[in-house]
Amino acid sequence: MQATHPQAGRALLLATLAFAGCFSVWTLYAVMGLDIQQQLALSATEYGILLAAPIFSGALLRIPLGILADRYPARNLWLLLMLSCIPALALLPWVESYISYLVTGLWFGLSGVSFTFGIRYVTDWFASRQQGLAMGLFGVGNAGVAITFVLVPVIVNFWGWQWVGPVYALGLALMLVLFWLLSPPAPTTSSGPAAAVMTLRQLLGDARVWRFSLYYYFVFGGFLALLLWLPQYYIQAYQMNAQQAMAFTLFFVATSSMVRALGGWFADRYGGRAVNWSVFWVCLVCLFFLSYPPTTLVIHGLEKDVTLEIAVNVWWFTLLIFIIGVAQGFGRASVYKVIHDYYPQHMGAVGGFVAAIGGLGGCTLPVLFGLAQDALGIVTGCFMILYGVLALCMITMFFANQAAQYQQRLTDARSNNFLLDEDE
């Protein structure tokens, strides 16, 4: 649609609230996982797989359901999605074994598809020049994980772990009713014939979609993996208790989520590609320092040995993580601004595919973090993994930009019968 709809603000507000509620469900194991790990004596790799279970199902189903959202009303699909997750949450008190936790996590992890439905729903309401800001504001729903970090300890202190699932089931049911009663149906447009729905084969064959997916793998998948992994990292690296680790992680999550709206505004004003490139450079510098493990150097002098301790203390670590979180918040908004620039009629299919790859980052990276820690025996292995992923993103973006510039020069040359000025 060409103009912003009068009810756009109402639709955006309710969609953001619903997304925040679903995101809090999707990341429930970020808090419960520490207790489950102690209860079942899990290794780092097993713990990573536990965290990955709900993220995996929510990420993988974003592809087919995103294509479906281009064909059917995203609002209706979203309502059915929330309804399907309620039984899994209600059954949590009866789950005891590791396998049962994995299966239940896969079930309520369906709530992660809410992002794809929400993006498809929100973009119908806003003009093109406001898409970055609109999707950035919607993405603030990532702060829903803060609900989990705050609410779960409160439930445990008052009623015990067995009530976490039922309380979340009740909360999601209330959100379902609120969204059903108050959210307006998506507006119909008369701007021309509807674009053909993209097929999975078309998505898989589009190199540009894969590029955007790789970028989102880092800015969202990395963010998701960090919010799941940081509580354990703070406990292991800085000997914090669980409450302190949760508080520091909550700071990272809240700041990274809230700046997403500002990132959308920057993407509208300066272009999503420029914002992405800046984000990658900022994160590369921070990850370089975070990847270096605590080290003791002994220099053998003429008369005595000199010992140097190299380590990032908790306050410098938190500052660097904060910077990465803010940068990733900007990046999550700018990636979707770029997607809308290229695929405005296919936000369900393309947005769902990109979101799926990003979500898969949230489930594969914690497993890789665990494998790196078990194999290398150092706590900073997770940041080495992220550094490698980011380096791949930057190399890919560099060559993609070079190819785009070449194609632009070729187009200009053809339009001028291949007669170029001497200074070119």
pLDDT per residue of the chain (424 residues) written in tens, 0 to 9: 456 677 788 888 999 999 999 989 988 888 888 788 888 888 878 887 888 889 888 888 888 888 888 888 888 999 999 999 999 999 988 988 899 999 999 999 999 899 889 888 888 888 777 777 787 788 788 778 888 888 888 888 888 888 888 999 999 999 999 999 998 887 765 344 455 667 777 777 888 888 888 888 999 889 888 988 888 889 888 888 888 888 898 889 888 888 887 888 888 888 888 888 899 999 999 999 998 877 777 888 777 887 777 778 889 999 999 999 999 989 888 888 888 788 877 777 787 788 888 888 888 888 888 888 888 878 888 899 899 888 888 888 778 767 766 676 777 666 666 554 444 4
Classify 377 in phi/psi space as left (phi over 0), alpha (psi -120 to 50) or beta. Answer: left
Place of tokens 């953001």: 16
Superfamily of domain 8-187+197-415: MFS general substrate transporter like domains (1.20.1250.20)
What are the residue boundaries of the structural domains of the chain, listed by start? 8-187+197-415
Strand ranges (DSSP E) for 249-377?
295-300, 305-310
pTM score above 0.85 = no
Contacts of 92 (CB under 8 A, 6+ apart): 104, 164, 165, 166, 168
Tokens representing 236?
Answer: 């292991």
